[in-house]
Structure 1
Amino acid sequence: MNAVMDDLVDVPESWPVVSHEVKATGRVQNFVEERVVTPTGDTMVRQWVGHPGAVGIMALDDQGRIAVVHQYRHPVGMRLVEPPAGILDMDGERAVEAAQRELAEEAQLAASDWSVLVDLFTSPGGLEESLRVYLARDLRPAPRPDGFVVADEETDMGLAWLPLDTLVERVYAGQVQNPTMVAGTLALALAIATGRVERLRPPTAPWPARTLKEARDRKGA
């Protein structure tokens, strides 16, 4: 494939799948194996994890601080500094609505000013998860949503406020490693430094990764 380097962006592409097998089904994720035909005509086997996608929130107050949680993550055996975040597992809920819900659930906050900070795939070599990180400003206290019950890791999860500059330093020191936190911290710091904050995408901006996933899910249904 030839391309002008100045024009390189992420684009949808789909190689032919000659077999698809769900090896294991979990509560949130599935483990999939597919045989795929490459452009050379060869066949490769790829194993990957299906995922519903997620949102994260960089909640910035008027003192330049970010609301963070300190959450135990069993697969890596660490308690991580993270922004409020959650998976997109509720049918019919828009991404920004999920972000608003997660901010209330995990930080008991609401925000009047929302924008899209950055979109990413967390581990595209083997994980389907797409992630949208929002910037939330003009914060105020809010109750947890009706019916929400604190459970599992969240029963032992603290909330704190850290200056954005402190988070930047801790990212570069290797002391903050959650991908949502790293991406959100550096994207926000750069947006502020370059005067881009007021030019960020609106909260309902198109999210091509989600549109593509939904189309693939419908095709496979």
Structure 2
Amino acid sequence: MALTEKQVDSTNVFDGRLLHVYKDNIILPNGHRSTREYIKHLGAVAVVALDDEGRIAIEHQFRYPFQAELIEIPAGKLDYADEDHLEAAQRELREETGIVAREYEYLGPFYPTCAYSTEVIHLYLARGLSFGERELDEDESINFEMVSLERMVDLVLAGKVPDGKTQTAILAVWAKLKKNV
């Protein structure tokens, strides 16, 4: 059975600085009509920065929608639609932690909210770290520390890290290292 939905028309409902909300009328595979409301997002990058001692860069950041401080890996949105993902990952890691890495490995895409958003977060593993000064944006308040990968895996598995990109990237790196891939 075909699964593709066909767009009939699209209405831009809201245009913000970060988010752009659309409402589309569609035809379902069975021929019925329906609507889809979704958010267009430029995309983002996230980095597991792994040092020679098996520690990774972890950030503590207040997230307004949840009114809570969350544990995350360094990440940030793309500055423009066709920005090179690797360059964005390098920029975000440097700005938020002061870390510059000699090598980057692409781990793959992560779709955090595929039911209602076009956001894709490109995940990277960074190694060969050197530490310098952070360059936080004026609207960022981030505490940063190096924590053992094993400790972070334990926290993820214990349900203490609710951020999806962080869970996915940490477990992907952990599995990759265990399998020597």
Normalised by the shorter chain, which TM-score bucket?
A: over 0.9
Alignment-derived partner of residue 206 in structure 1: none
Matched, 1:190 2:180: no
* Residue in structure 1 matched with residue 121 of structure 2 by the alignment: 131
Distance 2:165 2:18 in 1: 18
1:50 and 1:93 map into 2 onto residues whose CA distance is 16
What does residue 66 of structure 2 align with?
Answer: 76
More strand by share: 2
Superposition CA RMSD, Å:
1.6
Percent of aligned pairs with the same amino acid: 33
Kindly report structure 1 stretches of 4+ aligned residues shifted beyond 6 Å: none
Give the aligned partner of residue 120 of structure 1: 110
1:94 corresponding residue in structure 2 = 84
Structure 2 distance, partners of 1:149, 1:182, is 23
- Listed as ranges, the gaps of 5+ residues in structure 1 are 3-12, 197-221
How much does 1:93 deviate? Answer: 2.6
In the alignment, what sits opposite 1:8? none
TM-score of the two chains, using structure 1 as the length reference = 0.77
Larger fraction in helix: 1
State the one-letter code of the partner of 2:14.
A
- The secondary structure found in structure 1 opposite 2:76 is strand
Deviations 1:166-199 (A, max 9, x none): 1111111111111111011110111111111xxx
Q: Does 1:165 align with 2:150?
A: yes
The structural deviation recorded for 1:14 is 5.2
Q: CA deviation at 1:149?
A: 5.6
Q: Deviations over 1:147-175 (max 9, x none)?
A: x66322x2x31011111111111111111
Structure 1 counterpart SS, 2:52: coil
Q: Distance in 1 between matches of 2:136 and 2:153?
A: 32
Q: Per-residue deviation at 1:91? A: 5.4
Structure 2 unmatched ranges of 5 or more: none
Corresponding residue to 1:176 among 161, 164, 171: 161
The number of equivalent residue pairs is 181
Q: Is the 8 A contact 2:6 2:26 kept in 1?
A: yes
- Give the Cα–Cα distance (whole angstroms) in 2 for the partners of residues 119 and 50 of structure 1: 16
Paired letter, 2:11: E
